[in-house]
């Protein structure tokens, strides 16, 4: 995005992810120059200067998998069982109270918090079906337009479970209506259909007819007998589907025998399917049936990466019956990818920024001339410290414009 007329900005003494100190020049929505800190100035007088000494400067993160229509419902709707079935039942019971105004108000608050934390784009799934209709999609389409200059919002029409057969006709019709209402991707939950393989076929047939990208909730279970991800890879290759395909969750891949995980990962790579792992929500929901020897609720990240699959990390549910704790913070997701996913801090942050941008079809952001100026500066001495401390002292920039600047002030007893 190029924006003419926004004041030029010079960010000085910024620590880059590799530890280098640089001065970063920004104009018309893009980075124009990156100089070693201490290099004699040239035309600095026309730039608004921002001192980033003590801050790490990063490509801004993006959220590849959220549920804005459900966000911030935790104080209104509980989930006594704490598992996926309990969460689904709770949200269905709440549908009558989820008016367009209610959805819009909560989603707006969540987006504001997300933007303040550093997100410049969000992909959100939006429930639709015979019970809820398409009002969730309509509410988020309106919000997308309202916040166009703040955050890029991609909307996935998420079909209710039960898409196949005569009993799934109303679901399929509502899904098409939701796409017509302004959703940008087609979604569904084939793994919890009575016939997962047929559900993959039905959803992909609709996507081919509408010529749209897809993002499916896939294998959100630690049951190794469920592996709809393989059905999806087979369907993409068989039909030559030529739009973007994303599979979110893919938890059961993480509990397969190593040979099966490798085989499926290779098939996913061949089909050019991107994967989103959602550590916090799946660590919360999965494995509750076991008292000991609990499984981790993560996909087979290493196998997928080794096969050449684009794997991103997302926050998923933000304080609702599926996850009461979501902090709406990219550093929370990155931290869990380090501690639970056993990734390096560098790779974990790539998964919430570079990889997430790739699967969302967004321009890549790098701290170099010519790159879009979608940036996040956070008070820390290194990338690892930024992820670990998740300081609230942050500066968020989108297209060369400062969206948010948050500072933290501490008052301590004189004995400190």
CA distances from 237 to 200, 204, 231, 400 (A): 13, 12, 10, 40
Q: What is the pLDDT of residues 149-181, one digit of tens each?
A: 999 999 999 999 899 999 999 999 999 999 999
Query: Are 200 and 257 in a shared domain?
Result: yes
The model's pLDDT over 365-399, given as tens digits with 9 standing for 90+, comes to: 999 999 999 999 999 999 999 999 999 999 999 99
Same structural domain, 339 and 373: no
In a domain, 415, yes or no: no
* Residue 327 · residue 344 · CB < 8 Å: no
Look at residue 202 and tell me if it is in a domain. Answer: yes
Q: Which of 43-47, 82-86, 202-206 has the lowest mean pLDDT?
A: 43-47
Average pLDDT, the chain: 95
336 and 391 fall within a common domain: no
**Contact assessment for residue 71 and residue 319, using Cβ atoms and an 8 Å cutoff:** yes
Residues 346 and 327 in one domain: yes
Average pLDDT, integer, range 266-281:
98
Percent of the chain surpassing pLDDT 70:
98
User: Is residue 263's pLDDT more than 80?
Assistant: yes
Tell whether 402 and 255 lie within a shared domain: no
Helix (H) or strand (E) holding 406: strand 401-406
Q: Is residue 383 part of a domain?
A: yes
Q: Do both 308 and 186 map to the same domain? A: yes
Instruction: Output the pLDDT for position 5.
Output: 58
Whole-number Cα distances in Å, 161 to 127, 187, 200: 10, 11, 12
Residue 148 lies in a domain: yes
Q: What per-residue confidence (pLDDT) applies to 320?
A: 96
Q: Tell me how far apart the alpha carbons of residues 374 and 180 are, in angstroms, rounded to a whole number.
A: 30
Host domain of residue 238: 63-360
Location of structure tokens 């999609």:
137
Helices marked H in 53-134:
84-94, 100-117
Q: Are residues 37 and 98 in the same domain?
A: no
What does pTM read for this prediction?
Answer: 0.95
Q: CATH no. for residue 73?
A: 3.20.20.140
DSSP string, 143-167: HHHHTTTT-EEEEEEEEPS--STGG
Structural tokens at position 401: 């414009």
Q: Is 260 exposed, middle or buried (0-12, 13-18, 19+ CB in 10 A)?
A: middle
Give a yes or no: residue 411 inside a domain.
no
pLDDT at 1 over 50: no
Count CB-CB contacts under 10 A for residue 355.
23
- The answer to whether the Cα torsion of 33, 36, 41, 45 is positive or negative is positive
What ranges make up the beta strands (E) of 198-345? 213-218, 245-249, 273-277, 311-313
Same domain, 39 and 183: no
Within-domain flag for 372: yes
pLDDT of residue 289: 83
pLDDT at position 42, please?
65
Average pLDDT for 181-189: 98
The enclosing domain of 44 has a CATH number of 2.30.40.10
Identify whether residues 54 and 113 lie together within a single domain: no
Report pLDDT digits (tens) over 29-47: 999 999 999 887 666 668 8
Q: In this prediction, what percent of the chain has a pLDDT beyond 90?
A: 91
Residues 46, 90 share a domain = no
Q: 232 and 218: one domain?
A: yes
Q: Does 413 map to a domain?
A: no
| Residue 295: pLDDT over 90 | no
What is the tally of structural domains in the chain?
2
pLDDT digits (tens, 9 = 90+) for 303-340: 999 999 999 999 999 999 999 999 999 999 999 999 99
Q: Is 24 found in the same domain as 86?
A: no
How long, in residues, is the chain?
Answer: 416
Mean pLDDT on 401-405: 96
Q: Would 289 be classed as within a structural domain?
A: yes
């Amino acid at each position: 995005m190029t924006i003419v007329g926004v004041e030029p900005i010079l960010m000085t003494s910024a620590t880059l992810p590799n530890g280098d100190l640089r001065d970063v020049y920004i104009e018309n929505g893009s980075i124009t120059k990156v100089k070693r800190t201490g290099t004699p100035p040239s035309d600095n007088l026309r730039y608004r200067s921002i001192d980033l000494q003590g801050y790490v400067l990063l490509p801004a993160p993006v959220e590849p998998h959220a549920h804005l229509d459900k966000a911030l419902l935790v104080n209104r709707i509980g989930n006594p069982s704490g598992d996926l079935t309990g969460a689904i039942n709770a949200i269905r019971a709440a549908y009558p109270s989820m008016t367009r105004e209610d959805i819009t108000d909560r989603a707006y608050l969540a987006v504001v918090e997300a933007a303040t934390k550093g997100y410049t784009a969000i992909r959100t799934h939006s429930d639709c079906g015979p019970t809820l209709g398409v009002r969730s999609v309509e509410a988020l389409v309106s919000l997308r337009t309202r916040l166009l200059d703040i955050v890029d919002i991609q909307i996935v029409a998420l079909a209710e479970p039960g898409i196949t057969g005569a009993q799934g006709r109303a679901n399929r019709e509502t899904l098409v209506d939701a796409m017509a209402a302004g959703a940008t991707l087609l979604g569904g939950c084939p793994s919890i259909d009575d016939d997962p393989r047929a559900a993959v076929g039905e959803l992909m047939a609709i996507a081919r007819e509408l010529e749209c990208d897809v993002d499916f909730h896939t294998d959100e279970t630690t049951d190794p007998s469920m592996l709809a991800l393989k059905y999806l890879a087979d369907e993409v290759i068989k039909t030559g589907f030529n739009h973007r395909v994303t599979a979110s969750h893919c938890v059961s891949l993480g509990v397969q025998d190593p040979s099966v995980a490798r085989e499926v990962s290779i098939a996913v790579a061949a089909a050019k399917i991107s994967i989103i792992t959602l550590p916090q929500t799946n660590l919360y929901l999965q494995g509750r049936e076991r008292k000991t020897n609990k499984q981790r609720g993560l996909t087979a990240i290493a196998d997928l990466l080794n096969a050449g699959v684009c794997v991103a990390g997302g926050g998923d549910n933000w304080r609702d019956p599926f996850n009461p704790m979501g902090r709406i913070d990219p550093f929370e997701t990155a931290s869990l990818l380090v501690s639970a996913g056993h990734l390096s801090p560098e790779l974990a942050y790539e998964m919430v920024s570079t990889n997430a941008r790739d699967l969302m079809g967004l321009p890549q952001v790098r701290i170099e001339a010519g790159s879009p100026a979608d940036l996040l500066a956070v008070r820390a001495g290194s990338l690892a410290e930024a992820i670990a401390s998740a300081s609230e002292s942050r500066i968020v920039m989108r297209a060369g414009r400062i969206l948010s600047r948050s500072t933290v002030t501490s008052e301590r007893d004189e004995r400190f």
